[in-house]
Amino acid sequence: MDLGELDGDSTGRCRLNSPVPAVCRKEPCVLGVDEAGRGPVLGPMVYAICYCPLSRLAHLEALKVADSKTLSESERDRLFVKMEEDRDFVGWALDVLSPNLISTSMLGRVKYNLNSLSHDTATGLVQYALDQGVNVAQVFVDTVGPPETYQARLQERFPGIEVTVKAKADALYPVVSAASICAKVARDQAVKNWHFVEKLQDLDADYGSGYPNDPKTKAWLRKHVEPVFGFPQFVRFSWRTAQSILEKEAEGVLWEDSPTGDQEGSGRIMSYFSKGPRTHPHLPHRYFQERGLESATTF
C-alpha cells in the first residue's frame, strides 16, 4: 500500500484504491465499511471499504478475517497481503483524513463534528464504489452514533441497496472485518512513516498508542509543542488533551482587536475557539475604526 500522496500533502485527505475486479462489475456484491483511528490525538483517521461478489463471500470468510482490533499488526499485514493476492474477486478503497483536516473541520466557523465527517466519508466511499462500476447490492457498516438514524440516512441516500448498520459490525460481518483490516493497515503505515514537515529537533518516534489517556502520548505532546506555533501537523489540535497542553505550555496571545485598557493579561490561544461569550467586547479591526466604517444593519 503506497501512501506517498500523503507525504506530499499531509494537511488534507488522500484516496487509495485497488483495481476493481471484473467480476465485481458483473455480479451483485456485498460491501463493508469501517474505520481506524477515530479516537487518537495523533495521526490520521482512515475510512475503508472492502467488497466482493456475494457468490464469493465464503472465499473471503475462508481467509479468517476478523475485527482488526483483535489481531496483531503482523496478522493484519498478512491478511491484507492475502486480500491483495485475491484481487480477482476482492476490491477495496480508502480515504486517509489528516489530523489537520479533522481539527480544522471541527474548529471552523461552521462546525463540522467528527460524526458528520465520518458519515460523509463513509457515504462518499460507497458512492465511489458505485461510480467505479461496482455492482453493490448489500452494504454493512460499523456504526458511528445511533445505528437506526445512520442506517435510515444511508438507506435514503442509496435506495436501491440493502443497507445494514450495526454496532460492532466489524466482529459480526466478515466483509466489514476485511474493511477494518484495510483501514488499520493503512493507518499503521501512515503513522509509522509520517513525514514531519516541521523538521523537529530531537524527534522522538516513541509516542505510545496515540490515545489521549496514554501517559507516553501526553509526554510526547508536551515535548513537541512549540510555544508560538503549537503542535506539528501530526497532532489533532482540536482534541481536549492537546488543547489543555497548549493552554499550559504555549505563549499567551494579546489579540489585536482587543482594547488594551480592558485586557487583563494576555489571552490564551484556545480562547479564540471558545464557544461561549467573549470576556471582552469584540471591537472591529482598526482598518474599519480608522475609516469610520460600521456594519450596515439596514439598507
Binding-site residues from annotation: 34-35, 142
Would residue 10 count as lying in a domain?
Answer: yes
Q: Which helix (H) or strand (E) holds 5?
A: helix 4-8
Helix (H, G, I), strand (E, B) or coil at 117: helix
Print pLDDT tens along the chain (299 aa). Answer: 666 665 556 778 899 999 999 999 999 999 999 999 999 999 999 999 999 999 999 999 998 888 788 889 999 999 999 999 999 999 999 999 999 999 999 988 888 999 999 999 999 999 999 999 999 999 999 999 999 999 999 999 999 999 999 999 999 999 999 999 999 999 999 998 888 888 777 788 888 889 999 999 999 999 988 888 889 999 999 999 999 998 888 887 776 665 555 545 555 555 555 555 555 455 555 556 666 777 666 65
pTM given for the model: 0.82
Let me know whether 111 and 241 are in one domain. no
Let me know whether 131 and 242 are in one domain. no
Would residue 279 count as lying in a domain?
Answer: no
Domain residues for 57? 4-193
Residue 265 CB coordination number (10 Å)? 7
Let me know whether 34 and 177 are in one domain. yes
Binding-site residues from annotation for a divalent metal cation: 34-35, 142
| Nearest one of 94, 95, 60, 93 to 79, comparing CA atoms | 60
| Nearest one of 288, 286, 248 to 269, comparing CA atoms | 248
Residue 194 CB coordination number (10 Å)? 21
Would residue 19 count as lying in a domain?
Answer: yes
Cell numbers 503513522: residue: 191
Would residue 200 count as lying in a domain?
Answer: no
Distance CA 15, CA 5 (A): 9
Let me know whether 128 and 227 are in one domain. no
**Residue 267 confidence (pLDDT):** 57
Let me know whether 118 and 169 are in one domain. yes
Let me know whether 186 and 223 are in one domain. no
Q: How many domains does the chain have?
A: 2
Let me know whether 181 and 238 are in one domain. no
Q: Which helix (H) or strand (E) holds 244?
A: helix 240-249
Let me know whether 103 and 244 are in one domain. no
Let me know whether 144 and 221 are in one domain. no
**Residue 207 confidence (pLDDT):** 87
Are 182 and 67 contacting, i.e. CB atoms less than 8 angstroms apart? no
Let me know whether 154 and 21 are in one domain. yes
